[in-house]
Amino acid sequence: SITGLNEPQGAYYDPATNRLFVACGGDGTVKMFDGTTYQLLQTMTLDLDADNVRYDARSNHIVVGYGGQKFLAGKVTRPGGGGALAILDTNGKQVGNIDMDAHPESFQLEKMGTRVFVNVPDRQEVEVADLVKGTVVARWPVTACTTNFPMSLDERHHRLFVGCRMPARLAVFDTESGKIVASPAMVEHTDDLFYDAGKGRIYVLGEGFIDVWRQMDPDHYDRIGRVATPADSRTGLFVPDLEELFETTPHHGAQGAQIGVYGIQ
């Protein structure tokens, strides 16, 4: 195990270099470790609240969301301040920065393009940035709900799935027009959601349940299942190659920390 991390949030393992990158929210750092020995190789200091981490295969860069105003979810940082996406190479050098209007939460990168879609709940919008231009190119208001945190992308059908907490809704955006085409009610207090391109489903992890949605067509969605989970389980990982969904439960009171594994049928 790796110890001494100040609120670890996002992580990415680069198999080409055998390096593990971990973003730490408490001190705003990104730490790079050897993937075999877990030796700390480098520490990159960004700003407060280093958070989500993604890999851009097109450029072989790592993208980290950090900083900015964050009044929601009971955490107050940088009143009125903008956040950003830091662009790092796999040696840990920062090679770019894209300014956001407030703290960036979950974000998704196009594989067939250069756009990145970013949830910015303190502005109640999705901000769209261009990784080549290095700037925000569009701002889409989230009109159906607020507190938009998790996100997933269906690039083939040009659909972006955004999970909201107030009220609990799945906001579906057309990524060509920036408009919401559907917003069905869903599980409360979501913190992760995943699109299963092979089965045309969306898995939404929330407060005590996993909702399973079927994509009837790009504009219509039916909930086909709801699976009970421990009360505090809201985050996880979907691995398409294994057809398994992993859900995490933190330690709380008499309930020990655990990982639930769900087979996809």
pLDDT tens digits for range 199-235: 999 999 998 999 999 999 999 999 999 999 988 888 9
Domain residue limits, the chain: 1-141, 142-265
Q: Sign (positive/negative) of CA torsion 147, 133, 58, 179?
A: positive
Q: Contact 36/18 with Cβ under 8 angstroms?
A: yes
- Residue-wise burial string across 50-80, b where 16 or more C-beta atoms lie within 10 A, e elsewhere: bbbbbbbeebebbbbbbbbbbebeeeebbee
d(CA 263, CA 256): 22
Q: Are strands 135-141 and 180-182 parallel, antiparallel or unpaired?
A: unpaired
Q: Which residues pair with 197 in a beta bridge?
A: none
User: Are 1-141 and 142-265 equal in CATH topology?
Assistant: yes
Q: Are strands 209-217 and 40-45 parallel, antiparallel or unpaired?
A: unpaired
What's residue 232's pLDDT? 84
May I ask the CATH class of domain 1-141?
mainly beta
CATH label, 142-265, candidates 3.30.70.20, 2.40.50.140, 1.10.630.10, 2.130.10.10: 2.130.10.10
> Position 91: which residue type?
N
pLDDT tens for each residue of the chain, 265 residues long: 899 999 999 999 999 999 999 999 999 999 999 999 999 999 999 988 999 999 999 999 999 999 887 765 555 555 567 899 999 999 999 999 999 999 999 999 999 999 999 999 999 999 999 999 999 999 999 999 999 999 999 999 999 999 999 999 999 999 999 999 999 999 999 999 999 999 999 999 998 999 999 999 999 999 999 999 988 888 999 999 999 999 999 888 887 889 999 999 8
- Per DSSP, the chain holds a count of helices (H) and strands (E) of 0, 23
pLDDT tens digits for range 46-61: 988 999 999 999 999 9
